[in-house]
Structures are given as C-alpha cells and as structure tokens.
Structure 1
Amino acid sequence: MALAREQAGHVVVAIGGAWQLDADLPDLERLDADLFSEQELTSIAFETSDLVAWDSGLVSYLASLAWRCRERGIEVREEGLPEGVQALLRLASTVPERRAEGRNEHADPFLRRFGQDFIDLARSTGEILAFVGEVTLAVRSMVAGRARFRRSELWLLIEEVGADALPIISLISFLVGLILGYIGDQQLAQFGARIFVADLVGLAIVIQMGALITAIVLAGRTGAAFAAQLGTMQVNEEIDALRTLGISPVEFLVLPRLIALVAMTPLLAIYANLTGILGGAFAGTVVGGLNPAEYFTETVAAIGWNHITQGLISATVFGAIVAVSGCLRGMQSGRSAAAVGEATTSAVVTSIVFIVIASAVLTIVFDAVGLS
C-alpha cells in the first residue's frame, strides 16, 4: 500500500497485490498515523490497478479505514475500488453495528431508574384513564341507542363468558368451599362449635370468595382471551381498518365484551356461591359429622340479603375490571406475535392487581355505609 498526494487536502491510496485473510495485511494503526498526520486532509481516493486478489480481509480493512475517516469528517471516494468491494462497503455502512445487549458495564444511577419507573407509571396511569374515558363515552352512546356493534357477536360472547366457564368455576369454588369447611371444622371442633362451620363457609363465600374466585378465573380465562383476540386484530390491522371506515373500535369491539362480562359475572358469582357452600357442606357433614339439614338451616340463618348484595356488587365491579383490563392490553398490543403474548400476560396481571385493590376498597366502603 502506498500513499500519493494529488493536490492539497486530497490523498490517493494505492492498493496492490493480494489482500486476503491469510495474507500479511498492513498495519491499520501505522496507516492511521501516516494518513491523518496532515491537518488539511479533506478527502481520500483509491487506486487498485495492481490489485491481484481480494476477499473479506480487504473489505474489513477498508470499512475500518472509512469509519475513521468519517469520524474526522474526511470524504471517502470509493470510485477506484472494484464494484464488489464498493457493494460490500455500502452494505456494511447500511447495517448498524450490533451492540452487546447483555452487557451493562455502566448501570444507570438509582435515582435515574426510579424516576424513569415513576414516569412510566404516570404514563401508564394516563393511558388507563384515557381508555376508561373512551369506554364511558361508548356506554353513553349505547344508552342513547347510537352505539354500533353486532348484537349476534354479543350473544356469542355471553355464551363464551358464561356457560363455557361453568365447569372450571364449579371445580374451583367447590374445592375452595371444601378447604374452608375442613380447616374451619378442625379449629371449631376444639371448642365444640362445629355447627358454626356453616356460618364460616357461607359468609366467606357469599361476601367475598365467590366473587373473587369468579373474577380471577375470568381474568385468566376470558381477560387473556380478549387481549389475545384484540392483539391479533392489531397485528392484522383490522382495528386500523375499523378506524378508516369511521367505526369506533371501542364501540365495536370493547363494548360488547364489557356488556357480556358485566352481565355474566354476577350470575357466575351466584353459581360459585352455591357450589362453594356445597363444598363446605361436604366437609362439614363427612368430616365433621354434621346433619345436612342442620348444616343448611344454619347457613340460611347466617346469610342475609346484605351479604348477598355485597357479593353481587363486588362481582359486577370485578367483571368490569376484567373486561377493561383485557381489552386495554389488547388495544395496546404491538404488531408481532411476541407483543400479543406480552399483552395477554399483562392483561391477566393487570386484572388481578386491580381486582385485589377493588376488593379492599369495596370492603371499606361496605363497612362505611353499614352494609356489612
């Protein structure tokens, strides 16, 4: 390799011989010192008439040289290079350098990470509130008779949310009632008060556990399904198509899902209450030796309409939370299979978190208004 100055600020680099990986290539650092020693250098060119053979060794060498030139604002003229070398250099400059994603040599300070997390939380809260506002407007349009969605799809959603969920709710609520009855019997037997197992199971199931069981099952089953459905529509650009046609996606897609869950969750909660009480009765009669008629009489005496009302109100709120959370994450989904999976997971987590928060808030409210 030789350097020849044609005019002030311009250098021609002559490349000859064989430039291959197994050959002894010139030292780039030495060329760096010779080439950039001139302060007025503005451009470099290449002359390759004596080049015999080349491979990726030449391309790698020239790519490194071109990168150093660009750092100093020096123009690199590639016209004198073989066409294949020029094409590979253009490709190398087009693809960005891959950085090691797993390395984090300089971790962000704690305050910076905490601030970023707080900003993300505030942004997420704003998105949730905005979506809730859109859903509220859609509900108002429905009340006014202006909402546009397919009634046939609503009945299919009601079937999917309600009847199809009965087997899993039956199993879980019966087992939860059985566990509560067994534990209650073990403790109350020490005081000779096994009959109060009926009170314990009945009140726990009707006031809180029945609605919670139903909501958590629907969060994992229906909320995740809603997020996956809407996320897939986002990938296929179906939601964008609705907007193009002037149809609100919230009215057309979210509203029927919200109606189905709000309508069916209280009914499923009542069913969960019954099966949970049956589970407790099984434990009380088989393990505790209580008379079935006596057990159910005590259960009826312990449960009041105020307790049933608490459970139904909680179930209605939980159903709305599951519907909004599932649809929100589905509408926020990215346009890839991985993004749809993340949206599905996020829908379940969001639903459960807000269900627990709502349960605590409703318990305080019921106690404050004297409904307990």
Structure 2
Amino acid sequence: MEAHKQSQQSGELSFARADKSTLVVRLVGDWHLRHGLPSAALVEKQLDAAPKPTRLTFDAADLRDWDSGLLTFLIGISELCHKRKLPADWSPLPEGVRSLIQLAEAVPEKTGARAEVSHSTFIEELGHEAISYAQGLDDFLRFFGEVTIAFAKLPFGKARFRRVDLMIIIQDCGANAFGIVTLVTFLVGVILAFEGAVQLQQFGATIFVADLVGIAMSRDMGAMMAAIIMAGRTGAAFAAQLGSMKVTQEIDALTTMGISPLEFLVLPRVLALFLMIPLLCVYSDCLGVAGGALVSATMLHIPLGTYLRETRAAVTLTDIFGGVFKAAVYGIIIAVAGCLRGFQCGDSSSAVGDAATEAVVTGVVYVIVACGIFAFIFNVIGI
C-alpha cells in the first residue's frame, strides 16, 4: 500500500489493489480545505501504473470530518474516470458526499466558467498562515483542557500512571539538565553585567550593575532562559518519545487496554516539568548573579561582598517568587506543547523529527507570549 500524507492535521490518501483490476482509494482523517489536501494527480499516477486498473472504488471507513475540499478532490477523480471511461464505485462514500457528487455530475459545467489558476497573493498567504496559527492555538487549548481534567484526578488518586516513570522523568528534567543550565545562565549573567558596565561606567554608577543583573535574572531572565533551554532539550524529547510510541502503535495499545494515554504518558511529564523548572529557575538566578559578580570583580574591581550586599538590597522576595511562578507556568506550557506534538505525530519515522521541531517552536513561542502577558499583568498590579 502506498500512502500520501499532506500534513499532520489534514486528510490522508493511500492506495491498494483489491485485485489486479480494481484500484481502491482509501480516505483517512479530516478532509478540510484550510489544511491543504492531496491532489487528484496522485490518483492519476496510480491509474497509469501497470497493470492498469479497469475499475475504481473507495474505502471511507476511517474518513471523519470533511468539507468542500473533499468534494473538489472527488470531482477531479470523476473527471479522470470519465476521460478513461473507467467505472467508479461511489457507494462506499458517505451518503452526503454521494448526493453532492451526483448533483455536480448532473449539471454540466458551463464553458469558461472555471477560473484560471493564479498564484496566491501575499495577503492570501498571510491569511492561510493566520488560520493555521489559530488552529494550532485551538488544538493547544483543547489538549491543555484535557490535561487539566487528568490533573483533577491526581489529588483523589484516580490518575493511572507509574510512579517510577515520574521519578525517571524528574531526574531527566532536573539533575540531568544542570550542566546546560549552568553554562547558559552563567554566560547570560556575564553578558548582562558586561553590557550594563559599559553604559554605567559613563556615569560613575558601576555599583548598579549588581541591581541590573539581580533584578533582571530574578524577575524574568532566570525563568525565561531555563524555559527556553528546557523547550529545546526536554520539550523536543517528549515529542520524540510520544511520536515514536505513536508510530509503533504503543499509544493505541494503551487505549485498547483501557488505559488513558493522557494519564499514563502525559500527566507524569507535565508534573515533572512543573516541579523541576522552578528549582532550575532559582538555580539560574544564582548562576546569573555569579556571572555578574565575576565581571564586577574583574572588570569593575568591585569586591564580592559589596556586590552581594547591593544585590540583596535590590532584589526582593516578590521578584524571586514572581520569577518562580512564571517558571512553573512555563514548565506546563513546554510539557503540554511537547506532548501535544508527540500525539499529533504522523505514522512515519521522519514525522518524529518534524514533531520534535514543532514542539520546540511551539514551546518557545508560547513561553515568550506568556512572558509578555506576565510583564503587562505584573505592571498593572504594581509588582
């Protein structure tokens, strides 16, 4: 069987031979025009393949939602069959589809009625991208709601997952991530201090480098850098793990056994990242301050004790706990994005890599959006 997949959210098209003379066109999934659909040229290629079929039929057992895009595709197949005088069996299709196809074939097309195909304009492309992002946000929010329902079962002990899996994921999200978090956040502190020192030296206010680094790291940069690191490291890993399980049909096996994949696979991952990112955020804050202290001691000749006292005077508990709260939210966003892309993974090995890439992009974009929202809200309430 040869399969053709347009995208993770659009319909799938595959072919089979019931016998040497009958070509079976199998329609799977949601066939929506806004997602992009396979071309009838794929069917034409199969009709020309040896041995050439003398009859065409359909398999629509796994066809779900559809719109006019499916009708356009089927009418294109109908035209191919008419040109080749090839009989087509439309009976396996849904009744509504058959009725519309019969109506389209009963009324002949007027000469010149079909518009010439033109290239998409910038506005059209922009509209398609906006619809795609809106659909992606809708999928994210739906999946987030399902995860929230699974979380509601956790306090009552009704969520089914293995505690050992949670411990393994916590180790991977926490202790195993210390190395990369140490390197990146320390360098961020060094960069912030260096850039601040260059400007503050002009006013003789170099001591305020401690304020700059301490406040920036505790309020935003510590949580943000930890989240971006975990999106690229752990979010992609979640998508790849769940994508591989989907390709090997392990997720379908869990469903068959009556075990919720959301509870068994997603819940421990979200919980682990929710618990570990706040700790990594505090660790990032300390490393950023240490990086600033290094620059202050070597470039500005500020004693370590003076630097730490100035940092302690500038940074408040509100700044620290605000950053920790942001980090916890970022952790949920990254975990949900990674698991969602894993569940949306296609059925091929290459789709696993695509899912991991999309998980990183989705996680980072949503984290930055959340950071902007937090900045606005915290400013309004005066934090």
Report whether the alignment pairs 1:213 with 2:225.
Answer: yes
Does residue 193 (structure 1) correspond to residue 214 (structure 2)? The answer is: no
Q: Normalising by structure 1, what TM-score?
A: 0.71
- CA separation of 1:71/1:323 partners in 2, compared to 1, >3 Å: closer, same or farther? same
User: CA 1:235 to 1:302, structure 2 compared with 1: closer, same or farther past 3 Å?
Assistant: same
Shift of 1:125: 2.6
CA offset digits 1:320-355 (Å, max 9, x no partner): 111011001001000111111110000000000001
C-alpha distance in 1 between matches for 2:82 and 2:279 = 70
- One-letter code of the match for 2:181? I
Distance of aligned partners of 1:359 and 1:115 in 2 relative to their CA distance in 1, 3 Å threshold: closer
Q: Tell me whether 1:71 sits opposite 2:83 in the alignment.
A: yes
Distance 2:322 2:81 in 1: 74
From 268, 271, 274, give the equivalent of 1:259. Answer: 271
Which structure 1 residue ranges, 5 or more long, are not aligned?
1-58, 76-104
Q: Distance in 2 between matches of 1:68 and 1:204?
A: 64
Task: Report what 1:308 is aligned to.
Answer: 320
Aligned with residue 175 of structure 1, among 174, 180, 187 = 187
TM superposition shift of 1:310: 1.2
Give the Cα–Cα distance (whole angstroms) in 2 for the partners of residues 236 and 243 of structure 1: 14
User: 1:87-236, aligned counterparts within 5 Å?
Assistant: 106-108=118-120, 113-236=125-248
**Aligned partner of 1:331 among 343, 352, 362:** 343
Q: Which residue of 2 aligns with 1:38?
A: none
How far is the alpha carbon of 1:114 from its aligned partner?
Answer: 4.6
The amino acid that maps onto 2:365 is V
Please give the secondary structure, in 2, of the residue aligned with 1:184.
helix
- Structure-1 separation of matches of 2:284 and 2:80: 71
Matched, 1:282 2:290: no
Aligned to 2:303: 291
Partner of 1:346: 358
With over 3 angstroms needed to count, the CA separation of the structure-2 counterparts of 1:194 and 1:119, relative to structure 1, is: closer
Match of 2:280 among 260, 264, 268: 268
Q: Structure 2: which 5+ residue stretches go unaligned?
A: 1-47, 53-78, 88-116
State, as a whole percentage, how many aligned pairs show the same letter.
Answer: 46
The alpha carbon displacement at 1:116 in A equals: 3.8
State the match for 1:318 in structure 2: 330
Q: Deviations over 1:191-234 (max 9, x none)?
A: 11111111011101111100011000000000000000000000
Question: What's the CA shift for 1:74?
Answer: 8.3
Q: What is the deviation of 1:110?
A: 5.3
Counterpart of 1:277 in structure 2: which amino acid?
A: V
* SS of structure 2 residue aligned to 1:142: coil
State the Cα distance separating 1:121 from its structure 2 match: 3.2
* Matches of 1:187 and 1:363, distance apart in 2: 24
TM-score (norm 2): 0.69
Q: CA deviation at 1:123?
A: 2.8
Assess, with a 3 A threshold, how the Cα gap between structure 1 residues 307 and 337 changes in structure 2: closer, same or farther: same
Partner amino acid, structure 2, of 1:319: G
For 1:210 and 1:311, how far apart are their aligned partners in 2?
7
Letter matched to residue 290 of structure 2: L
Distance 1:240 1:177 in 2: 46
Distance 2:171 2:86 in 1: 70
Q: Return closer, same or farther for 1:349/1:72 CA change in 2, 3 Å cut-off.
A: closer
SS in 1 for 2:301: coil
Counterpart Cα distance in 2 of 1:140 and 1:288? 52
Note the C-alpha offset of 1:112: 5.0
* Closer, same or farther: CA 70–139 of 1 in aligned 2, 3 Å: closer
**Separation (CA, whole Å) in 1 of partners of 2:269 and 2:171:** 11
Judging changes above 3 Å, is the alpha-carbon distance between structure 1 residues 230 and 301 closer, same or farther for their aligned structure 2 residues? same
Structure 1 pair 186–333 and aligned structure 2 pair: CA distance change class (3 A): same
Distance in 1 between residues matched to 2:297 and 2:286, nearest whole Å: 16
Quote the offset at 1:312 in angstroms.
0.6
How far, CA to CA, are the matches of 1:345 and 1:358 in structure 2?
20
Q: Given the superposition, is the C-alpha separation of residues 303 and 69 from structure 1 closer, same or farther in structure 2, using an over 3 Å criterion?
A: closer
Task: Give the Cα–Cα distance (whole angstroms) in 2 for the partners of residues 134 and 367 of structure 1.
Answer: 31
The amino acid across from 1:188 in the alignment is L
Instruction: Name the aligned partner's letter for residue 265 of structure 1.
Output: I
1:365 matched to 2:358? The reply is no
Deviation digits for residues 293-340 of structure 1, max 9, x if unmatched? 111111111111111111111111111111011001001000111111
Q: What is the number of equivalent residue pairs in this alignment?
A: 281
CA distances 1:32-54 after superposition (whole Å, capped 9, x unpaired): xxxxxxxxxxxxxxxxxxxxxxx
Larger Rg: 1
The letter of the residue matching 1:315 is: A
Per the alignment, in what secondary structure is the counterpart of residue 218 of structure 2?
helix
